Amino acid sequence: MINRLAVIGVGLIGASLALALKQAAVVGHVVGCGRSEKNLQKGIELGVIDSYTTSIAEAVKAADVVMLAVPLGAMQMAFEQIADSVGEHTIITDAGSAKGSVVKIAQTVLGNKISQFVPGHPIAGAEKSGVEAGLAGLYQNRRVILTPIESTDPEAVGKIVDMWQQCGAIIEYLDIEHHDKVLAATSHLPHMLAYALVNYLSNLNDHDEIFKYAAGGFRDFTRIASSDPVMWRDVCISNGDALEAFIEGFKAELDEVSQAIRIRDSDRLLELFSTAKSERDTLIGNC
């Protein structure tokens, strides 16, 4: 049981966590914290949170668990406000999609309270944002990656594992560097491709007709370009090295496709496309 949960950043991730724990009846009181009072008031109306404050320092007082669900660019400020106010028995966790930058900030700011921090990342999300996007079932059968460091208290890890399992999540562990590399490939790169494609096509002279006749494939591929621009700007800055390496690798792959098209190499095109189809069908399924 979590008697008091502080959710810093009541958007899709934070709101969904609160709703899932409420549905499981394992949380007593949820205090929400954010910059938008309108969003927080909506959270009260929807029953996502029980009270709210715009002060992080105030929100974390007497909390059993603090969930940091803010953009990566806001982590420094959030940890600074937490450091002097959080209790010595409070467990701090986060939902940042790049762990290296978050852990570095936490180690610098938290001091001897670093043992209370359990770095985490739920692999769940959508292009929608705000408290109204919250879904109690968002984490059902979805993976949550934890990246505890050497100084993390094992009991704190256990508490966060239990919290996520109450939401229906599957827990996995990765070291920080490997996590950031994997997520750069599977999450961060696809978002960059979607943003780039929409920007490229929207700058063409006949872009109105292009979007008018866009079929399901285009909508599916570019759906994630509707994601929060602030969040993805911060991802690029926080995980830039890993992401840039994959962007360069993808450019080389695209050049190979372009070359095959240029010389009308049908055999090579068929080989490239068949390999991709086979890999995707095997690893993800034909869906």
- Among the residue ranges 16-25, 122-131, 181-190, the one predicted with the least confidence is 122-131
Output the pLDDT for position 52.
97
Residue 187 is given by DSSP the state I
Instruction: Tell me what pLDDT residue 213 has.
Output: 81
Over the chain, what is the mean pLDDT? 95
Tell me what the mean pLDDT of segment 279-284 comes to. 88
Look at residue 286 in the predicted model and tell me its pLDDT.
Answer: 61
Q: Report whether pLDDT(88) > 90.
A: yes
From 220, 186, 187, 222, select the one nearest 201 (Cα to Cα): 222
Lookup: tokens for 137? 């079932």
Q: In what order do the strands lie in the sheet with 2-8?
A: 51-53, 27-33, 2-8, 65-68, 91-94, 117-118
User: Domain 2-174 maps to which CATH number in 3.10.105.10, 3.90.1530.10, 3.40.50.720, 3.40.50.1370?
Assistant: 3.40.50.720
Superfamily covering domain 178-283: 6-phosphogluconate dehydrogenase C-terminal like domain (1.10.3660.10)
- Given this model, what pLDDT does residue 215 score? 79
Write out pLDDT tens, residues 228-271.
899 999 999 999 999 999 999 999 999 999 999 999 999 999 99
Does residue 287 surpass a pLDDT of 70?
A: no
Q: Identify the burial level of 122 via C-beta atoms within 10 angstroms of its C-beta, where 0-12 means exposed, 13-18 middle and 19 or more buried.
A: buried
Residue 47, number of CB atoms within 10 A of its CB: 11
Domain regions of the chain by residue span: 2-174, 178-283
Q: Is the pLDDT of residue 64 over 60?
A: yes
Q: pLDDT by residue (tens digit) across 148-180?
A: 999 999 999 999 999 999 999 999 999 999 999
Lowest mean pLDDT among 25-29, 93-97, 126-130, 163-167: 126-130
Contact criterion met (CB below 8 Å) for 180 and 242: yes
Q: How far apart are CA 172 and CA 8, in angstroms?
A: 23
Confidence of residue 121 (pLDDT cuts 50, 70, 90): very high
Round to whole Å and give the CA distance between 110 and 106.
Answer: 5
Percentage of the chain beyond pLDDT 90 is 89
**Euclidean distance between CA atoms 125 and 13, whole angstroms:** 7
pLDDT cut 70: percent of the chain above it: 99
User: Which phi and psi angles does 101 have, rounded to 5°?
Assistant: -65, -40
Domains 2-174 and 178-283 share a fold: no
pLDDT in tens, 180-223: 999 999 999 999 999 999 999 999 888 788 888 877 888 889 99
